[in-house]
Structure 1
Amino acid sequence: MSDNFKWSSPEGYELVRRILRTTPVPYTPHDYQLEGLCKSLDGIHLFAITRTGSGKTAYYSLYMLVVLAVVANPALCPTASFPKNPCLLVVCPTVPLQLEMVRFFLRFGNG
């Protein structure tokens, strides 16, 4: 991969798909989730408005799975630069949403 690797390119989408197939996520992400995820990996801020239950949580949970995979195996994307011990802070507006996020992350090994 060149120094100009873009996650939001056909090669980037394929790499993300390949990485996610190795994770415990039991579903194939929707194209709009992959698009938002890849834009975020390129450092572009994401503002997504979708209906309830449409998978907004996937934007940041899948992002973290990709980052963790690349940190564990830099050969996946040699030009990527992520912290050695990445962390993700999620601010939820309600306690029920917080509890749902905890269950989600624990289910997929992100807890």
Structure 2
Amino acid sequence: MADVKHGPDSVPEVDAQSEARLATVDSSVTGETGVQDEVVAAPSWLLPSGVYAVLKWVVLTVMPALAVLVGALGAVWGLPHLDAVVTTINAIALFLGALIGVSAATVKK
């Protein structure tokens, strides 16, 4: 085992992996409770904010409106399998909304 010196003039060595972790995690005391929250930097695989905003608009506004439009005009024009098409649009919107919600919840952690 290596000798570790502790004292006012000694500075502990930090390896690259620990330094990277320290750079991404900031522990701070919040409020009067003394509870520590960890603020973690968002991983690179998360959606950039512009892409997130566009996807959120598409999922929450465009896709439900499209499902209603297809349902209303499909009946007038006699489109086949109309119920299946509308259900598919709504299912895709729900799935993407859940993924976006998970992404937003992960960022807020």
RCO comparison, higher one (Cα < 8 Å, 6+)? 1
**TM-score, length of structure 2 as denominator length:** 0.27
**Structure number having the greater strand percentage:** 2
